[in-house]
Chains A and B, each alone.
Chain A
Amino acid sequence: MSGAVGREAVFPTRQSLGLMKNKLKGAEIGHSLLKRKSEALTKRFRDITRRIDEAKQKMGRVMQIAAFSLAEVTYAVGGDIGYQIQESAKQARFRVRAKQENVSGVLLPTFESYTQEGVNDFGLTGLGKGGQQIQRCRETYARAVETLVELASLQTAFLILDEVIKVVNRRVNAIEHVIIPRTENTIKYINSELDELDREEFYRLKKVSGKKQRDVAAADAEILAARQKAAEEQAANPKSPAATAVPIQEEDTVDVLGEQEDNDVIF
């Protein structure tokens, strides 16, 4: 596997080794943090999924009751009121407001329903007969819509979380299976190259010191031979005591400041 991931294109120096080690450490920290984030989100996700399931069942029941109460209205009014209601709808009384909730760095919107006060499009609906049924039907439907809004916010949260979890998991896997092995590979490569350089250097030093030792030994042998020769000469010829001593030649120092006239002085 490690062969497939490859390594980064770096020069095998100690500096880049340090960089790579830092990078590896960073990747490991990032991996553990992202893993934790993903777990927190997944936990939330499962919770939401369960609630969606429940809410959908509840919605089925609530809508059934609401439909029944509408049937009551139709019976009481004694005719179809659909057209009248569609025409008289002007301003929404029932509105939603989006709020946001923060789950480990992910903003989840939640809808909150509220009723706009003072808006009533159906003041005259059911004036003749069936007013009470219509009133009841409105309340039933208002409750049903509240359930629907709740379900809608769950569903939105579900979609967003689904997306975010996918992204986070992709990152976790990328770090785990690509970045960390690649960095490790690079570190291994740099280490082996550095070791290689070290061995070369060591061999070179050994070579150099060997050569130096040889030279020193040769020089020693020469000196020793010269001394021996001198001693032998001295032994053979004791009359001249300073045969080897270099005669010190006292050079005559010229007294520049003396009485003699300089030749090259013009004035």
Chain B
Amino acid sequence: MAASAATSKERQFLAVIGDEDSVTGLLLAGVGHVTEPPDSQRNFLVVDSKTETSEIERAFQNFTQERKDIAVLLINQHLAERIRHSVDKFADPFPAVLEIPSKDHPYDPEKDSVLKRVRRLFGE
């Protein structure tokens, strides 16, 4: 618990994996961040119809495991559905993985990993 308390202080960015509209909107809100030049990394990934699932997977691992400065990872629900296995497996408190609806895919509470756990806990 002490270790996570120390690391949670450094986590100050939000990361986004989403389709173009979601990313654009969230970037307009000001969440976008690019790290310093030597190994500049963006904290967002735009996914279109041509993007491979493995790339989403890689970005997800990068944001959740490798980068230590991300507090919240926002991912479109239909993209989370494509890497459902990884999302379900990821259970650490940091970063918080949040499934958000996108323009073309309305929000379905039944598919959300966390809500599924909530429902299971209450036996519904």
Contacts and interface: CB of A to CB of B under 8 A. Distances in A.
Interface of A: 49, 52-53, 56-57, 59-60, 63-64, 66-67, 69-71, 81-82, 85-86, 89-98, 100, 106-107, 109, 111, 115, 119, 121-122, 125, 134, 137-138, 141-142, 144-145, 148-149, 151-153, 155-156, 158-160, 162
Given A94-B14, A137-B25, A89 B34 contact: yes
Interface stretch (B16-24, B51-59, B60-68, B79-87): B16-24
Contacts of A122: 28
Contact of B5 (A66, A89, A100, A153): A100
A145 B28 CA distance: 11
Interface of chain A: mostly helix, strand, loop or mixed: helix
Interface string B75-102: 0000000000000000111101010111
Contact of A86 (B33, B46, B74, B117): B46
A192 B106 CA distance: 70
Nearest to B106: A60
A135 to B, nearest CB: 10
27 contacts: A49-B122, A52-B118, A60-B107, A64-B101, A67-B25, A70-B21, A70-B24, A70-B103, A86-B27, A86-B46, A93-B30, A94-B30, A96-B11, A96-B12, A96-B71, A98-B12, A98-B71, A100-B5, A121-B30, A142-B30, A145-B29, A148-B14, A152-B72, A155-B96, A158-B114, A159-B93, A162-B117
Chain B, interface size: which category?
35 or more
Contacts of B122: 49
Contacts of A64: 101, 106
Given A49-B121, A98-B9, A152-B98, A119 B30 contact: yes
B25 A94 contact: no
A141 B25 contact: yes
Nearest to B92: A159
A142 B29 contact: yes
Contacts, number: 159
Contacts of A115: 30
B29 A60 contact: no
B80 to A, nearest CB: 13
Contact of B72 (A59, A86, A96, A106): A96
B100 to A, nearest CB: 6
Nearest to B1: A107
Contact of B32 (A57, A81, A92): A92
Contacts of B13: 92, 95-96
Most buried by A among B4, B25, B44: B25
A69 to B, nearest CB: 8
Contacts of B106: 60, 64
A97 B9 CA distance: 7
Nearest to A120: B30
